[in-house]
Amino acid sequence: MKKLIEFFKDKTVKNVLDVGTGTGDFIAILKEVFPTAHITGVDPNPDSLKEAEELYPAVSFRKMVAENLEFANNTFDVVSISMALHHLPDVQKGLQEIKRVVKSNGWIIVNELFSDNLNSAQEVHKMLHHFRSQTHRILGISHNETFKKNKIIEMIDESGINIHFQFESKREVNLIRNSKDLEFRAKKMKEMLESVKGYSEYELLKPQIDEFREKAAKFGFQPATRVVIVGKKQ
Ligand SMILES: C[S@@+](CC[C@H](N)C(=O)[O-])C[C@H]1O[C@@H](n2cnc3c(N)ncnc32)[C@H](O)[C@@H]1O
- What CATH number is given to the structural domain containing 129? 3.40.50.150
Protein residue closest via CA to atom 22 of ligand 1: 20
Q: Is 214 helix (H, G, I), strand (E, B) or coil?
A: helix
Note the pLDDT of residue 14.
Answer: 98
Residue 117 CB neighbour total at 10 angstroms: 11
Question: For 68-85, how does the pLDDT look when each residue is reduced to its tens digit (9 = 90+)?
Answer: 999 999 999 999 999 999
Q: What is the pTM of this model?
A: 0.95
Using a 10 angstrom Cβ sphere, with 0-12 exposed, 13-18 middle and 19 or more buried, the burial of residue 119 is middle
Contact present, 44 and 64 (Cβ < 8 Å): yes
Which residues' Cβ are closer than 6 Å to ligand 1? 19-22, 25-26, 43-45, 48, 65-67, 82-84, 87-89, 142
Protein residue closest via CA to atom 10 of ligand 1: 84
The count of domains in the chain is 1
DSSP string, 27-70: HHHHHHHSTTSEEEEEES-HHHHHHHHHH-TTSEEEE--GGG--
How sure is the predictor about 1, in pLDDT bands with cuts at 50, 70 and 90? confident
Protein residue closest via CA to atom 23 of ligand 1: 20
**CA-22 nearest atom, ligand 1:** 27
Domain, as residue range, for 200: 2-232
